Amino acid sequence: MTLNVVWFVLIAVLFTGYAVLDGFDLGVGVLHLITGKDDRERRTALNAIGPVWDGNEVWLLTGGGALFAAFPKVYATVFSGFYLAMMLVLLSLIMRATALEFRSKNESARWRSFWDVTFSLASALAAVLFGVAAGNLMKGIPIDAGGNFTGSFLGLLNPFSILIGLLSLAMFTMHGATYLAVKTEGAQQERARDWALRAYVAFIVLYLAACSWGAIVARPVSARYFSSPAAWLAVLPLLAGAILTPAMLRRGRDLGAFYGSALCIASLNLILAVGAYPALAPSSGDPGTSLTIFNASSSPLTLKTMLVIALIGMPLVTAYTAWIYHAFRGKVKIEATSY
Amino acid sequence: MDALVLSRVQFALTAMFHYIYPPLTIGMGVILFVMATLRLKRKEPVYDEMLRFWVHLFGINFAVGVATGIVLEFQFGTNWAPYSRFVGDIFGAPLAAEGIFSFFLESGFLAVLLFGWNKVSKRAHWFASLMVALGATLSAFWIIVANSWQQTPAGFKMADGRAELTSFLSAVFNPSTLPRFSHAIMGAWVTGAFFVAGISAWYLLKRRHAEFARKSIAISIVFALVSTAGAAIIGDWHTRQVAHTQPEKFAAMEALFKTTEGAPLLLIGYPLPEVGIPKLLSFMTYYDPGAKVLGLDAFPKEDIPPVAITAMTFHGMVYSGVFLAFVALLGVWFLYKGSLERKRWYLRLLLLCMPLPFLLNELGWMTAEIGRQPWIVYHLLRTKDAYSVTVPAGQVLASIILFALLYAALFALGFSLNRKAILQGPHEVREETP
């Protein structure tokens, strides 16, 4: 039983790692056409995430694999249930990767602007869809006694989930803007700071709207906050992030602002995890059909084996990832081998 | 068409298209490591030029591989939900291990390899090439562990309608893991070797970048011989393992319809007229010319795979593999004689051989996967019971059309960028202006 809880935490860590790391890649993409006014600035933006975006995306792949390994019933039910939405997510991730890799491999202005637009739209679409998926899980999804999803694609596009999609868009945009402010200089940096503030305001407004609406419609997550005062501790880090981000931006301390927005993203995931526990895919109908860390998990032996793998692997990953971020630290300089 | 057929089409499309790229980057990864080592040990600038050029091509093909591989991590859940519930306790772990032990390694250090020329020391850059090669190889290991478990399940018990792990090591090192992993790796090396050799041969034919091409072709042709020979030897081992662990599949591969003592090795067979060497199949399989080999008639009709396609893909792979081994052997002989550059017909042949390894890899996987039918997990779960019943066929069709168009565009794009870089040649790639 403890193993199930450990894996709940680990899955949450993997998806939070993804949101914090690939989150700024997505945000840089959303702002690509807005903060980059000419070819040089756009290349600077692409190369700001150039050495790290691929590794950041691995957090999602590993999260997906770990979900399959630890809670296969959730992996099966949610991904088959969200079929078209998943395909759109995959499409947008593929288009993003392609645009990033191939945009600067040809001099033609039309070629480049085609990929610039593709990169931006695909990033925004992915950011919104992640939020829509989260919104649906917060509300609970229709699951029958056999553990199958019984809803429809259009049913996923409900107003509350779209609101969460917009919240996710604002949050990643804020994160990407603070990252750009760290990695760029001059006018581009100023624009990035301005957009970080704008996205911050949108994030706060949408967050408050999502909270008040979610209190009513997202019962599977919000119920705990009505019944248990201790759960409110999860909101404290968000408060800290929400204070830190604009304060640092105003002082021109971009790295601090970046950490602030990272804290906002991580604590939003924390708030959701604390609310949803022990459910991973709450049912909108009979709570007995909810997929939880207890009824959807793999065997104790698999959970234990996976834990050993994670304990060997993740410290290594963290160590060399930190080294790579360190090697590519500082402002972006365009070189012959750049994107 | 129903969702089952469509889901199978989609899996075949995405997996086969994806598998154009990983063998190339796994094979090239090892060659890059050799070049990076030479660059470190010998101070000649040509090694620097070589590494830069081949890393550039590696980057293009790696990118298409990543873009097309994302789908596969999620496709088991989207299209094969009952399968995912059935095998999740076992199959998910190698998938997650692949992420933790190889994807992170590969993507992280590839960034250093591609962009780190002026950011890290030469030694650190060399280390990155080693980690990229290691990451790519480990990735093949874990995904083949997962796939091999579908072929020869081990280390599990049936409980609550699913397969539950009883021994992780037995599941990982199930009877087919090692032969299949090493055979696939050899196939990948063959692909990388002929890719580098073919492009270098083209430069020699065009009398461009002579020193660069001479050194590149020398490395790759030796590598080609080692890997084709390795693929053949391990292939023989792997085939014997299939005969022991999946006899229906083996009978289909050899198109052996009747159980026979002293079975002949068919050089040509169903659906063509049979031409064979007497008793050789029995000898190769059991080291006994009189041994009994089970034919398709030994198994229930509903348990045997499609014969024609299994047999043809298998033989197609074997014949083109043997052909490539002779090409490599000839090349090493010319290299030893110092006449490689003068044999212009041979250089042309190398150029023509470039697409063959890609075909070989696909044929091998078709044999493996079609030969496993009608099972998705051998003798445990049938393919027809494993697809997502909740996904409407129309949605699967829509995603097939989407991916088919996208992949066609990606292929064209990747091809043209490879071509452009090759036409420009090593100097220009190096001096590409911002």
Chain A residues 123-182 within an 8 A CB cutoff of chain B: 147-150, 153
Q: Is A88 on the interface with B (CB under 8 A)?
A: no
Gap between the Cα atoms of B63 and B111, Å rounded: 12
Which positions of chain A have pLDDT values less than 70?
A: none
A61: nearest Cα among A100, A40, A90: A90
Amino acid at A101: E
A73 interface with B at CB cutoff 8 Å: yes
Instruction: Give yes or no for a contact between B337 and B298, defined as CB atoms under 8 angstroms apart.
Output: no
Whole-number pLDDT of residue A303: 93
Q: Is the ipTM of this complex over 0.85?
A: yes
Band the pLDDT of B434: cuts 50, 70, 90. Answer: very low
Which residues in chain A are contacts of B166 at CB distance < 8 A? 301
Task: Kindly state the DSSP code that residue A283 receives in the 8-state scheme.
Answer: B
- In Å, how far are B153, B240, B244, B263, B264 from B294, measured between CA atoms? 21, 13, 10, 9, 12
* Site from A83, A152, A339 to mutate, B interface, most B CB atoms within 10 angstroms: A83
- Is the CB of residue A336 less than 8 Å away from at least one CB of chain B? yes
Instruction: Please tell me which of A15-29, B114-128, B247-261 the model is most confident about, judged by mean pLDDT.
Output: A15-29
Inform me whether the C-beta atom of residue B432 falls under 8 Å from chain A C-beta atoms: yes
Is B155 at the interface with chain A, CB within 8 A?
no
Distance CA B159, CA A299 (A): 10
Spatial distance between the Cα atoms of A295 and A303, rounded to a whole number of angstroms: 14
Is the pLDDT reported for residue B2 higher than 90? no
B164 beta partners: B157
Confidence band, pLDDT 50/70/90 cuts, at residue B428:
low
Question: Cis (ω within 30 of 0) for the bond into B392?
Answer: no
C-alpha A273/C-alpha A280 separation (Å) is 9
What's at B321, amino acid-wise?
G
* Contact between residue A94 and residue B70 where contact means Cβ atoms under 8 Å apart: yes
- Smallest CA-to-CA distance from B308 within B365, B398, B370, B378 is with B370
How do residues A110-132 score in pLDDT, each as one tens digit? 989 999 999 999 999 999 999 99
pTM comes to: 0.91
What pLDDT digit, counting tens, does each position of B378-411 carry? 999 999 999 998 888 999 999 999 999 999 999 9
Contact check, Cβ <8 Å, A309/B100: yes
| Portion 47-106 of B in contact with A at CB < 8 A | 52, 56, 59-60, 63, 66-68, 70-71, 73-74, 76-79, 81-82, 84-85, 87-93, 95-101, 103-105
Contact B89 A302 (CB under 8 A): yes
From the list A52, A313, A320, the residue facing B101 with the nearest CB is A313
Average pLDDT, chain B: 91
DSSP secondary structure letters along A196-237? HHHHHHHHHHHHHHHHHHHHHH-HHHHHHHHH-GGGGGGGHH
Amino acid at A125: L
Give which of B64, B78, B105, B173 to mutate to test A binding, by max A Cβ within 10 Å: B78
Contact list in A for residue B59 (CB cut-off 8 A) is 101
Residues in chain B with CB shorter than 8 Å from the CB of A297 are none
Q: What are the percentages of helix, strand and coil residues in chain B, rounded to 5? A: 75, 5, 20
Put simply, whether A338 touches B (Cβ < 8 Å) is: yes
Closest CA to A195 of A211, A165, A172: A172
pLDDT (tens digit per residue) in B316-342: 999 999 999 999 999 999 999 888 888
- CB-nearest partner of B98 from A47, A65, A310: A65
Residues 6 or more apart whose CB falls under 8 angstroms from that of B379 comprise: B153
